[in-house]
Structure 1
């Protein structure tokens, strides 16, 4: 996990400054996003609502690159930065900062940005999520009601690992058993003490940090919806899933999608040679195939 966080930091090397910053307020926090419009009539075509991966932000390399590529192809996009419990958050989350956020917070925040787009006159939205953001995007999409402006969902290397995998990975990375920590966090939450800080704890990619019991319990919940392929079992709307053939972070995704059986609403594309971040020409492939998917709806 620490290796992935280092890769996320490296991905900041390429910066784009073409998108217009947008903010909204929620529960005393200012939420950030970057709006890139293809032209002055941008509301008249589907707009892509994009969610980044773990502890990252809306202008990390893959997000900013895709925004530019979509604009070149005539499509506008809104790339959001999840608050992760912080107001006006920019850049990668700083590990020493105490963690008071949840995996499931994203579901509400994606909804707020969808409402913002609707308020701008957009009546056709495509959801897109990368890595953990892919799982959060699928989770959000699975709860949409009939009549939603969301017309399709694009999942790029969506997180799809259950609790057993997380526990094994936690043990491998930190040489600590995860289950007793989750049990402690769950008890604190059950006792109404979810705001209690668990100090000197390894959390996601952050070594020896602090996190509230509620945060720890939520990110490491033994909930089948943490596995994206579980969500897709009952998914009815059109969805495009991308995997990288050289991805060492989200592994065996193609096999997991195939195990769902014949589902006409799910398309799968494996980008040969791409790793978890789909850099350079692999991003071009993502953009091309995403636009093909949108125009097929």
Structure 2
């Protein structure tokens, strides 16, 4: 075979590979949107042969994470395989064009409910793209924020809600977790933050970050007592059917199945517990979770 023929065959190979639906589903398309002066990013993954008029799933990640983390990427890939389009967003956390994990050394000025605002922005964007049927999905804290959005900022195009290992909350548990993680009482930085102006910066243990530079307003938004942090308490207020997917070996969100089971009637609220799964649904657990989500969304 001549060199020119080899070059031609290679060119044809890469052309058809680029056109392959499987590759398109795996890679997705980066979408950007400017909100309050910040460039927000999202990954749009289309199922083969589908358009946005066929609907979409809007996915929100967990604490200080991003839309490329394994659980989110696995969900998008598996959902596409089941014929479902998805848009996985990266929360801005007050930064423009944010990618990757939020680094602890970066000052924190973001507010807990910023996530609800950004979910709303992307819901509105999807509507402009022709989406008339939308499911919401969120993982971990992103699941809790998704539930809060669905409970209080519901849009009629939202048909169903899927919550992956969403956060549960109680004031006593939050205090205990803070003490165990940072070796001090939560009451100390809370009292300090309450005496400061919201934009003033302080040094404190914050989320996963020891000795973080965090604004008083940001700290209070995550640590002041707020019953709406508790996902199970929001489920009754969500107008669309909800599926809660729990991991049976979740070491971060404990007690979720026990909290949700009494609420699960199989109609308004459903519960699925994935065996041999940790909080991030690693390995085959992500496929099992995605299959459960896809079945719920397509029923």
TM-score (norm 1): 0.89
2:249 maps to: 246
The offset of 1:40, in angstroms, is 4.9
* Among 100, 110, 126, the residue aligned to 2:119: 110
Task: Determine whether 1:157 maps to 2:171.
Answer: no
- The 5 A counterparts of 1:55-94 are 55-94=64-103
- Structure 2: segments with no counterpart, 5+ residues: 1-24
What does the per-residue CA deviation read over 1:86-116, in whole Å, with 9 as the maximum and x for residues that have no partner?
A: 0000000010010010111100000000111
1:202 maps to: 205
State how far apart, in whole Å, the 2-side matches of 1:38 and 1:209 are.
Answer: 41
What does the per-residue CA deviation read over 1:130-158, in whole Å, with 9 as the maximum and x for residues that have no partner?
A: 0000000000001234x621101000000
* Among 131, 136, 148, the residue aligned to 2:145: 136
Q: In 2, are the aligned partners of 1:157 and 1:241 still within 8 Å (CA)? A: yes
- The 5 A counterparts of 1:273-288 are 273-288=276-291
* Among 16, 29, 32, the residue aligned to 2:41: 32
Matched length = 275
State how far apart, in whole Å, the 2-side matches of 1:121 and 1:151 are.
Answer: 15
State how far apart, in whole Å, the 2-side matches of 1:128 and 1:277 are.
Answer: 14
Secondary structure class of the residue paired with 2:195: helix
Q: In 2, are the aligned partners of 1:69 and 1:284 still within 8 Å (CA)? A: yes
State how far apart, in whole Å, the 2-side matches of 1:261 and 1:126 are.
Answer: 19
Q: 1:128 to 1:261 in 2, by over 3 A?
A: closer
The offset of 1:164, in angstroms, is 1.5
Shifted more, 246-255 versus 261-270: the winner is 261-270
State how far apart, in whole Å, the 1-side matches of 2:238 and 2:32 are.
Answer: 31
* Among 159, 166, 181, the residue aligned to 1:173: 181
* Among 128, 136, 143, the residue aligned to 1:127: 136
Which 4+ stretches in 1 moved above 3 angstroms? 259-264
1:187 maps to: 195
Which of the pair has more CA radius of gyration? 2
What does the per-residue CA deviation read over 1:210-260, in whole Å, with 9 as the maximum and x for residues that have no partner?
A: 100000000112010011111113333200001111111001111111244
Q: In 1, are the aligned partners of 2:245 and 2:274 still within 8 Å (CA)? A: yes
2:234 maps to: 231
State how far apart, in whole Å, the 2-side matches of 1:124 and 1:51 are.
Answer: 17
Q: 1:221 to 1:287 in 2, by over 3 A?
A: same
Secondary structure class of the residue paired with 1:233: helix
Shifted more, 228-237 versus 153-162: the winner is 228-237
TM-score (norm 2): 0.88
